[in-house]
Structure 1
């Protein structure tokens, strides 16, 4: 096992600024938007101020071996953002249904998921949760033989054994923020708050807030029958939705919310808010069933604003029909940590459920255990909630979400053709956008750098000279290239995409490096370097195609909003025998047409791989 008692990783690699010896620039990625001026600005920055900033960054990094060079600036970036965290930052992942249909009853599933979440928390805090491992060569390292051997190696040396076969245990420093944590709004920059001593769960139903302890005095998890009883009691409470639902406030601009939170504190709500902030997590019990995948996405991404507390580290949402999801606040951590929790909770709740549909709740008086929280609201707060609701409703009505499932094949077929499944999905987005809008645009794909201590993410830039050439061949000149030529272009895209992904995962991307140099310049009080003022830099960071993939047997669908008003938010997964795509947009873009173009692109790619002419 690679884990240290503190829950970090023994010997985990230290994420240093890339290209320590020199500062390099991504010419291939910027193809098509670089001008002579941009090239000159790059050269000037590379040999002048950029070189000085880079030397400072490397020196600073060497003095701070306990963390990565990106960790502090990345927290600052998230916590200093003043936009609403709803849509702009919080994503969602929805669980597949429990394979046993009668376990999808709302009360049964809420109890089982809550109990499994608490078991995960106890395992994590006991230091018994094995880290995930990033395998660069899974044939050698992701085997039972290797796992048996590495257990025999002394813990101080185990990392080196893993390193020799290109296996990297992932950083777990984010995990402690999963529980008892909340993002607190503050003027200018928010704060992360965690209180691991607290034992209670926060439950929202119809916009009403309830708390009850899920750990006893000795820190043991409450009996499942008692949790069952307390949740049944909350579900049977017919209290109407409050006239002024407090849950709208965390959807506000962060400075606006900070001011209103201070008003709440001044108006006698300090202890009540502390219960909300320090709760294990927020369990949201919705009073309606899910009708289709679009309804599922809207419900889990933003809901109606009444029954979520978006500032909590995560909301565990369960609809009337047992459909469940996690909506998480993004500043404290990334998808790797949340997906690990998600997978473990799904597996535990479905394979070793705490209660059965036939179970009876414990004979306890829940009215004496469950506390309904009351908030004191004055006219300022009521007006703030009313305004927040108006903004929330207006914004959510402007968002469209739709999805497709491409059923002709997935990972299995693509791997037989020795083509990267992720590269094919990304190529299909490039082809689709070119077909729909006649151009290629800046594209972002998130890649975890959790193979490094305090790593966060790096950007893979899927739009390249190879995807541009391939997309134009398929969309504009399909008859001018033979099937073999088109197949070769797909192979080139795949090879280059694999290279970009590997570089990003191993800390050799350029986005975070340039971000850190810019952050350092600002911290030094320097004027923004001309390089960062160039339109090409602005264009490559205006990510019209923002994409992310999370594939897991536990995940039904996931998604997020676009990161720019004229963009698409593209959540996707390449499964064994199908490819799923869940896309969001504001009115500037047409989701349905884009998805039809994605479907056409995937069909064309599979035709070519199968030797069929276009």
Structure 2
């Protein structure tokens, strides 16, 4: 670590010194798995799950052999974590559309700048960050004095997800195919479904000034003034299910010699800038358009896309396979604070990026556009804001802020749907070498007791407070287990992936009943999927729901306020709005309950 008088460490200098994610023992994982799934199961379901776990743990059985393979992999030279293959399998293996389903967004705090100036500021600051990252002058992020992994920063620029028939890949710098930082000098700019290449670095690698970029953005707005025909905006294709998009991409590449060159410009661009031709009338409208928007004005496979509305409101849409929220928050905080100015190099070159399409491909583009527009319309969303409740108030009440809001979610959900359902919370683990997140399952026996006592007319306030604090304490304990890498789900999930990847080689080809048990299926079928993004530079954070009954809860919990973006499939929208109403009541009720101590 460095003191305040020392030169900050280079960006990746501390990486190899970070602790490795520990490999749990199989017995411990299975014991914890039973503990975590039990509150959601009937006695019969629990018995079925325990039986399958015992079979999985049998000496010489499938579980033991898969775990031995995992330990062997973890010990190999060049492996940084036993999760090194898990993350590509998890993110790149999904076969549905990533737009709205996987990508996430942040709505930035408001700015006095108009669209052109705001866009130029964001681009200039992002390019400056890229140049500092290239030179490893972005210091490692520290949390409570502990260094965090900076590996994900390698996926901020010129990183693009490439669709595949069975699993996607990622084109990115710092890879065997493209060693070191990206050599790209351009970004991709969208306006009204038109796509342009804009140079942001000159041939010598010098950045264009903000004034230069203002002129470049104005040139794009003028050149893209006429809206592109809907079936010519190829960005729509990035909303397709992945195998279908892979097949269409192959067709696109083979159709005309101009198309590989155009796709190369898209996929090698440092990032996207999406200029919208309207000003959202509400915060919710801004959030919705950051999540999905006009897909002809996006390239959802690009790692980072800045989106700037006509009135200067702005945000970011992020492709999730290589980037988590904590990395993007650090990046955004740097970008929004940047004020560096550079000498003018003149108006940056701007030219259209155009694809040759035949009638069949235009029909595919149109179908993709229509399908995604309907999918977005079939997603219900809302925002909630508590402008006078935040972490400071929770700490005054002597309770973990995150535990407080998670208990409020559970109480609101029970009251709105009459049940306590599977709940996921993302826990950051970047303090490990190449650490990302851990999957926390929120529901505990203490939570079941808490929600029951809160609506038990015979319970007094003391009993309710005791149940509330017991549930919150258990939540904090479990979150610490996840932070320590001591959680069961990803371990068991990776063993399942190992069988898929290497089952025949390892002689583990038999069906594994554990993954059909209620313990596995019920606890992973989310009713609530939750994640937080604490940053004073962010108004809202959001993502789509994860199942046909799930409410996605993205929340920004700050010292003085608490903002949420909720999403769910339209057929169950009423339940989400009911949940939102109960959440308003629950937060105030729980605050009052602790205030009475």
Q: Same fold (TM over 0.5)?
A: yes
Equivalent-residue separation in structure 2 for 1:456 and 1:10 (angstroms): 15
Unpaired segments ≥5 residues, structure 1:
136-140, 142-166, 356-360
Question: Which one of the candidate residues 156, 161, 177 is aligned to 1:183?
Answer: 161
Offset from partner CA, 1:564-597 (integer Å, 9 cap, x none): 1111110112221332221001124222211001
Deviation at residue 20 of structure 1 after TM alignment: 7.0
Q: 1:257 to 1:490 in 2, by over 3 A?
A: same
Equivalent-residue separation in structure 2 for 1:398 and 1:52 (angstroms): 44
What's the counterpart of residue 40 of structure 2?
Answer: 32
The answer (yes or no) to whether the contact 1:71–1:456 under 8 Å persists in 2 is: no
2:515 matches 1:527: no
- Give the 5 Å matches for 1:276-355: 276-348=266-338, 352=339, 354=341
TM-score of the two chains, using structure 2 as the length reference? 0.91
The answer (yes or no) to whether the contact 2:29–2:488 under 8 Å persists in 1 is: no
Question: Which one of the candidate residues 411, 414, 417 is aligned to 1:431?
Answer: 411
Equivalent-residue separation in structure 2 for 1:331 and 1:7 (angstroms): 24
Q: 1:345 to 1:317 in 2, by over 3 A?
A: same
- Give the 5 Å matches for 1:24-173: 24-26=30-32, 27-30=34-37, 31-33=39-41, 34-48=45-59, 49-64=62-77, 66-98=79-111, 101=112, 104-135=113-144, 141=145, 167=146, 169-173=147-151
Deviation at residue 374 of structure 1 after TM alignment: 1.7
TM-score of the two chains, using structure 1 as the length reference? 0.88
Question: Which one of the candidate residues 267, 272, 275 is aligned to 2:255?
Answer: 267
Moved more, 217-226 or 42-51: 42-51
Equivalent-residue separation in structure 2 for 1:5 and 1:556 (angstroms): 28
2:592 matches 1:607: yes
The answer (yes or no) to whether the contact 2:11–2:139 under 8 Å persists in 1 is: no
The answer (yes or no) to whether the contact 2:304–2:318 under 8 Å persists in 1 is: yes
Offset from partner CA, 1:498-530 (integer Å, 9 cap, x none): 111111112111111111111122222323311
The answer (yes or no) to whether the contact 1:23–1:51 under 8 Å persists in 2 is: no
What's the counterpart of residue 164 of structure 1?
Answer: none
Moved more, 548-557 or 493-502: 493-502
Deviation at residue 429 of structure 1 after TM alignment: 1.0
Equivalent-residue separation in structure 1 for 2:215 and 2:13 (angstroms): 33
What's the counterpart of residue 545 of structure 1?
Answer: 528
The answer (yes or no) to whether the contact 1:29–1:465 under 8 Å persists in 2 is: no
2:393 matches 1:452: no
What's the counterpart of residue 561 of structure 2?
Answer: 578
Deviation at residue 354 of structure 1 after TM alignment: 4.5
SS of 1:71 mapped into structure 2: coil
What's the counterpart of residue 483 of structure 1?
Answer: 461
Deviation at residue 461 of structure 1 after TM alignment: 1.5
2:184 matches 1:198: yes
Deviation at residue 535 of structure 1 after TM alignment: 2.4
Equivalent-residue separation in structure 2 for 1:239 and 1:511 (angstroms): 50
- Give the 5 Å matches for 1:368-517: 369-474=349-454, 476-477=455-456, 479-517=457-495
Equivalent-residue separation in structure 1 for 2:398 and 2:347 (angstroms): 61
SS of 2:553 mapped into structure 1: strand
